[in-house]
């Protein structure tokens, strides 16, 4: 099966498993796991933040970052299609007592004017707007990237109104690779940033939260409250360190494959491709005359898995287990369902 459902389907490579097996460990609840410490220091350095924390998931890391900078009853501003709003089980409301207010953005990326229009002066009659949460890359719009300039402009506007800024950077590494800038430059304007090791980087488990010392101190307590502390977690942290060293540099390959596959599939009748900026390819198949379930079942029967992504959209995500040769298989599977012969076999 060529599995393009998500970049989370990857399994640890033999070298990563070896690094995990050989990891030096200790009880991280007492701060005694040297491998977790190394990972946290490495990520803090890469992101240019004072301190980083290792967490089991991105959803928990998002909560720790946001809850550490808000109080129950506060309001959090989010772009209308943010992962935090739609895919995180209302965790900000349930665990943080937070009100979320969404700001519509045409292409998934907030415009500074749209944000400014949503900001309001402090008033005893309105909730206190405490935090702006951004997302880079933006999942729902097909992995779009937000530039450092845009991030700084949005963060600047929010900060003028006294808001803290959290970045959901589940795929921050992809954004940095696509823009050819350092991850630290991308997150320089934000107070806290969450980023995942378990997506394009190919680690089996783990996300990081980074920020300043005092905020991370509060985040540490919230992680504990949520039950997110782990004991001999060095086995997992070793996978993260391995991923940063060996898999981070290869992300542009995934971006290149997403682009090539998109160009090829766009030649098929009725397939509209959202031009991929990173490793996510969004296909609108309304024009094919086939339903999304029909196409997905047909692909599955031909050894290719993709996922539905609302309406007439199908999502394909490129990752380290997909090779050039697989792309030709994906293309001919699509073509054969649509009753076409494959375009050419030498495109990759």
Residues that bind ligand PLP (CB under 6 A): 57-59, 83, 135, 139, 168, 170, 196, 198, 207
Q: Find out whether 322 and 4 touch, Cβ atoms under 8 Å.
A: yes
Q: 59 or 268: whose CB is closer to ligand PLP?
A: 59
Minimum separation from the CB atom of position 148 to ligand PLP (A): 18
Q: 196 or 210: whose CB is closer to ligand PLP?
A: 196
CA torsion, ordered 113, 115, 117, 121, to nearest 10 deg: -130
Q: Find out whether 229 and 223 touch, Cβ atoms under 8 Å.
A: yes
Cβ partners under 8 Å of residue 249, min gap 6: none
Minimum separation from the CB atom of position 171 to ligand PLP (A): 7
Minimum separation from the CB atom of position 63 to ligand PLP (A): 10
Q: Which one, of 345, 341, 274, lies nearest residue 312 by Cα?
A: 274
Does residue 273 sit in helix, strand or coil? strand
Q: 57 or 102: whose CB is closer to ligand PLP?
A: 57
Minimum separation from the CB atom of position 306 to ligand PLP (A): 16
Residue nearest to ligand PLP (CB): 58
Distances (CA, A) of 255 to 222, 278, 316: 35, 5, 12
What does the longest C-alpha to C-alpha distance in the chain come to? 66
Q: 108 or 234: whose CB is closer to ligand PLP?
A: 108
Q: 144 or 260: whose CB is closer to ligand PLP?
A: 144
Minimum separation from the CB atom of position 249 to ligand PLP (A): 22
| H or E stretch covering 150 | helix 148-160
């Amino acid at each position: 099966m060529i599995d393009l459902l998500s970049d989370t389907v990857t399994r640890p490579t033999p070298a990563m498993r070896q690094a995990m097996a050989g990891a030096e460990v200790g009880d991280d609840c007492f701060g005694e796991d040297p491998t977790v410490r190394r990972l946290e220091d490495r990520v803090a350095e890469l992101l240019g933040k004072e301190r980083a924390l290792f967490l089991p998931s991105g959803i928990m890391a998002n909560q720790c970052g946001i809850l550490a900078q808000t109080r129950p009853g506060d309001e959090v501003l989010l772009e209308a299609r943010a992962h935090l709003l739609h895919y995180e089980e209302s965790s900000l409301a349930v665990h943080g007592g937070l009100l979320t207010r969404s700001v519509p953005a045409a292409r998934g990326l907030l415009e500074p004017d749209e944000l400014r229009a949503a900001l309001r002066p402090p008033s005893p009659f309105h909730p206190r707007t405490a935090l702006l949460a951004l997302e880079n890359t933006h999942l729902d719009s097909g992995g779009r990237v937000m530039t450092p300039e845009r991030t700084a402009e949005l963060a600047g506007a929010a900060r003028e109104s006294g808001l803290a800024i959290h970045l959901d950077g589940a795929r921050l590494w992809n954004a940095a690779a696509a823009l050819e800038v350092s991850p630290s430059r991308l997150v320089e304007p934000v107070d806290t940033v969450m980023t995942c090791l378990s997506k394009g980087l190919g680690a089996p488990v783990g996300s990081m939260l980074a920020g300043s010392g005092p905020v991370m101190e509060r985040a540490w307590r919230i992680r504990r409250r949520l039950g997110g502390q782990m004991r001999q977690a060095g086995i997992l942290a070793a996978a993260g360190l391995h991923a940063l060293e060996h898999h981070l540099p290869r992300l542009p390959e995934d971006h290149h494959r997403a682009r090539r596959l998109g160009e090829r599939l766009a030649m098929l009748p009725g397939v509209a491709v959202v031009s991929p900026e990173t490793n996510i390819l969004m296909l609108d198949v309304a024009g094919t005359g086939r339903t999304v379930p029909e196409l997905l079942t047909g692909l599955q029967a031909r050894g290719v898995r993709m996922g539905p992504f609302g309406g007439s959209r199908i999502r394909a995500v490129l990752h380290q287990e997909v090779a050039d040769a697989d792309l030709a298989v994906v293309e001919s599977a699509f073509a054969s369902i649509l009753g076409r012969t494959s375009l050419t076999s030498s495109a990759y």
